[in-house]
Homo-oligomer: A and B are copies of this chain.
């Protein structure tokens, strides 16, 4: 059990049909990809398999009007990848959404709720079912 203090998580997901076109995991992957310069490197940096990282990139590239990631052929070992201008724009705007939503942490409602939460949950009672 973690000793983490009570906190608030906000998850923003953009859907295209039934697929998630952008969300926290895909945004992290785009950031890692911009740093690492390849899908395999980005996956490694996030502790994610190449296959998993590739599938996330493929989903993004199919959900937006143009690809967010451009790849250079060469397979997992040699191939490079970079964000397209659209990829950079989408990542920046998604980060803006996340930042705006995070503003609720500064309001009176979260302050009040935070004050009403226990530091840790009470021990589980015997189930009454």
Q: List residues of chain A with CB under 8 Å of any chain B CB.
A: 1-4, 6-19, 21-22, 50-51, 54-55, 58-59, 61-65, 76, 86, 89-90, 93-94, 96-97, 100-101, 103-104, 107, 109-110, 112-113, 116-125, 127-129
Contacts and interface: CB of A to CB of B under 8 A. Distances in A.
B13 A9 contact: yes
Given A76-B129, A104-B101, A109-B93, A121 B16 contact: yes
A118 B15 contact: no
B120 A96 contact: no
B110 A64 contact: no
Contacts of A122: 61-63
A125 B57 CA distance: 12
A118 B64 contact: yes
Given A97-B110, A110-B97, A116-B64, A14 B8 contact: yes
B120 A93 contact: no
